């Protein structure tokens, strides 16, 4: 006997949970199915535990400069304490997510779901069959592991959250935000850390000055950067893993982590049976209202590959519920999405990079680099950077890029005026708050340089 719902959500991560809750508030009878833990990647093994680890690792930077403020610190770090406290917090959050769903009458089912048709789902463990007029796929993604000999010796971000002990050294393969964030976490906690990346600089897609700045900052923290190189093979040698690189060098590491990207979860749960089409890049193809090629089935979040960020998945989930259960079609605007890398130094950006903006006509670039005030009593020479890219002669602000303390917090707020189409004059109108780093954004006098006819002048 099948059980009937208005909506079945597969995947209780950022997008699925929000969609289920909003649909339920509109009176829909909703079941949400999760095969691992409620909260999904962000809460269980992504943003949240990552940021807690980032906080832990940043104490080392503070201890380094504490002496210049007169402090004597005898600091020792205990990894099991951090992991246990993090696990406690994640369990609390998971319980809160379940409670919030159940409070709205959503049925939370812990099982793996397989689509058996346009409107039906079978549960792997229990064998239950559920039916609904509408199905939402919010199945997220998983780390991609290169197919090389010895790959099983490596870990991904999933396992990094549960290591029994910190390795003496780690090699992280990749150049994206996960690689950079985990490198600064491990280095900050005292692990000898190396990044190997096939490209020529970390954080592809970010503004070139930010990429350069973060590269320097990583090296200042003792992180070794090996560019234009791949990992070819891993083999065990005693307690270590010997890594063979594409430049024929072999070197031992205490651990190896793959941060080589993520693939969408699109296989093994009946997308073909339900006639759900994929994009050439291997994500679920959707229209602006998150509808798949099957009109009864929608998809949101990472599995659609539009933007792999939690707030975007949440927005897409809410927009889906508005569209399908409140007779109010809402399309999410995917332009102007701010993004942060919680590395040390921190990086955050919104809008066009300088290189992208040059293709939009004449532009002005306002750029400043300085030692953050917190470092000025110490010998720490690291500089922070703030950059505004505007249309020429005080025109619209096209992009803002920040490297240094609180970069993400600042970008979160400038996202508001920039999204409203603010001009340089609008920024200038704001009174500076002193002493802050952010005041630089409203006190730029003349452009640091300009592009006229695509040429830097």
347-351 and 339-341 strand pairing: antiparallel
Token pair recorded at residue 7: 């909506």
Distance between CA atoms of residues 14 and 40, nearest Å: 6
With respect to ligand FAD, which residue has the nearer C-beta, 40 or 447?
A: 40
Q: Does 13 bind ligand FAD (CB under 6 A)?
A: yes
CA separation for the pair 318, 304 (Å, rounded)? 15
| Nearest of 347, 352, 348 to residue 363 by alpha carbon | 352
Size of interface with ligand FAD, in residues (CB under 6 A): 34
Rounded Cα distance, 294 and 12, in Å: 21
Report how far residue 334's alpha carbon sits from residue 264's, in angstroms, rounded to the nearest whole number: 19
What's the min distance (Å) between Cβ of 342 and ligand FAD?
6
Binding status of residue 54 toward ligand FAD by CB under 6 A:
no
- Give me the least distance between CB of 402 and ligand FAD, in Å please: 16
Q: Which of 20, 23, 40, 256 binds ligand FAD (CB under 6 A)?
A: 40
Stretch that binds ligand FAD, among 136-144, 351-359, 378-386, 395-403 (CB under 6 A): 136-144
Residues 6+ apart with CB under 8 A from 162: 83
Q: Which residues are marked as active site?
A: 434
Within residues 194-223, the interface with ligand FAD by CB under 6 A covers: none
Shortest Å distance, C-beta 73 to ligand FAD: 28
Q: How far is the CB of 94 from ligand FAD (least distance, A)?
A: 11
Quick one: 13 or 167, whose CB is closer to ligand FAD?
Answer: 13
- Minimum distance of ligand FAD from residue 52's CB (angstroms): 11
Could you tell me the smallest distance in angstroms from the CB atom of residue 47 to ligand FAD?
Answer: 3
Q: Which helix (H) or strand (E) element contains residue 245?
A: strand 240-245
Of 16 and 217, the one with the shorter C-beta distance to ligand FAD is 16
Q: Which pairing describes strands 347-351 and 262-264: parallel, antiparallel, or unpaired?
A: unpaired
Inter-residue contact 430 to 397 (CB < 8 Å): no
Q: Which of 8, 30, 93, 113 binds ligand FAD (CB under 6 A)?
A: 113
If the CB atoms of residues 121 and 365 are measured against ligand FAD, the closer one turns out to be 121
Of residues 293 through 312, those in contact with ligand FAD by CB under 6 A are: 301-303, 308-311
Q: Is 229 helix (H, G, I), strand (E, B) or coil?
A: coil
Least Å distance, CB 90 to ligand FAD, is 13
- What phi and psi, each to the nearest 5 degrees, are found at residue 56? -60, -45
Instruction: Find the binder of ligand FAD among 5, 9, 14, 306 (CB under 6 A).
Output: 14
By CB under 6 A, is residue 343 in contact with ligand FAD?
Answer: no
Among 5, 15, 56, 258, binds ligand FAD (CB under 6 A): 15
Task: Judge whether 111 and 35 are in contact, CB under 8 Å.
Answer: yes
Among 33, 218, 231, 418, binds ligand FAD (CB under 6 A): 33
Minimum Å gap between C-beta 367 and ligand FAD is 26
End-to-end CA distance of the chain: 73
Position 313 contacts ligand FAD (CB under 6 A)? yes
The Cα 179–Cα 226 span in angstroms is 13
Q: Which of 251, 228, 232, 229 is nearest to 240 (CA)?
A: 251
Picking from 340, 387, 342, the residue whose alpha carbon sits closest to that of residue 365 is 387
Q: Which segment (10-18, 76-84, 236-244, 289-297) binds ligand FAD by CB under 6 A? A: 10-18
Ramachandran quadrant class, 248 (left: phi over 0; alpha: psi -120 to 50; beta: rest): left
**Cα gap 7→31, rounded to integer Å:** 6
Residue 274 touching ligand FAD (CB under 6 A): no
Indicate whether 157 belongs to the interface with ligand FAD (CB under 6 A).
yes
Nearer to ligand FAD, 310 or 353 (CB): 310
Smallest CA-to-CA distance from 136 within 3, 299, 316 is with 299
Both tokens assigned to 41 = 């990647």
Q: Is 269 in the site for ligand FAD (CB under 6 A)?
A: yes
Q: How many CA atoms lie within 13 A of 324 on its CB side?
A: 34
Q: Candidates 35-43, 204-212, 230-238, 239-247: pick the segment binding ligand FAD (CB under 6 A).
A: 35-43
What residues line the site for ligand FAD (CB under 6 A)?
A: 10-16, 33-36, 40-42, 46-47, 50, 112-113, 138-140, 157, 178, 265, 269, 301-303, 308-311, 313
């Amino acid at each position: 006997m099948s059980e009937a719902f208005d909506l079945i959500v597969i995947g209780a991560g950022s997008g699925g949970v929000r969609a289920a809750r909003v649909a339920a508030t509109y009176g829909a009878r909703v079941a949400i199915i999760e095969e691992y833990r409620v909260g999904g990647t962000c809460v269980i093994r992504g943003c949240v535990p990552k940021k807690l680890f980032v906080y832990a690792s940043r104490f080392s930077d503070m201890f380094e400069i504490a002496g210049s403020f007169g402090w004597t610190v005898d600091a020792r770090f205990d990894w099991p304490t951090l992991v246990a406290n993090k696990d406690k917090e994640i369990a609390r959050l998971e319980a809160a997510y379940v409670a919030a769903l159940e409070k709205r009458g959503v049925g939370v089912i812990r099982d793996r779901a397989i689509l058996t048709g346009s409107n039906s789902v079978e549960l792997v463990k229990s064998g239950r069959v559920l039916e609904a007029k509408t199905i939402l796929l919010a199945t997220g993604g998983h780390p991609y592991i290169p197919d090389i000999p010895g790959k099983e010796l490596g870990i991904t971000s999933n396992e990094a959250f549960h290591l029994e002990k910190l390795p003496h050294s780690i090699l992280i393969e990749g150049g994206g935000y996960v690689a950079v964030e985990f490198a600064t976490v491990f280095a900050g906690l005292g692990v000898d850390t190396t990044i190997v990346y096939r490209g020529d600089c970390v954080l592809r897609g970010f503004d070139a000055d930010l990429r350069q700045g973060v590269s320097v900052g990583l090296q200042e923290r003792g992180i070794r950067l090996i560019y234009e190189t791949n990992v070819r093979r891993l083999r065990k040698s005693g307690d270590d893993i010997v890594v063979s690189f594409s430049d024929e060098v072999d070197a031992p590491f205490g651990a190896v982590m793959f941060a080589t990207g993520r693939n969408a979860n699109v296989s093994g749960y009946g997308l073909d049976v339900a006639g759900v089409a994929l994009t050439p890049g291997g994500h679920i193809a959707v229209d602006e209202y998150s509808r798949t090629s099957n009109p009864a089935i929608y998809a949101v979040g990472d599995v659609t590959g539009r933007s792999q960020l939690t707030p975007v998945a949440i927005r897409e989930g809410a927009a889906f519920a508005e569209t399908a259960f409140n007779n109010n079609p809402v399309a999410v605007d995917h332009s102007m999405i701010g993004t942060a890398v919680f590395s040390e130094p921190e990086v955050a950006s919104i809008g066009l990079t300088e290189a992208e903006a040059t293709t939009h006509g004449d532009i002005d670039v306002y750029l400043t680099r300085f030692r953050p005030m917190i470092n000025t009593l110490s010998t720490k020479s690291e500089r922070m950077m703030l950059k505004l890219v505007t249309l020429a002669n005080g025109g619209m602000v096209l992009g803002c890029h920040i490297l240094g303390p609180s970069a993400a917090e600042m970008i979160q707020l400038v996202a508001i005026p920039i999204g409203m189409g603010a001009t340089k004059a609008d920024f200038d109108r704001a009174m500076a708050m002193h002493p802050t780093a952010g005041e630089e954004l409203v006190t730029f006098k003349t452009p640091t340089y300009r592009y006229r006819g695509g040429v830097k002048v």
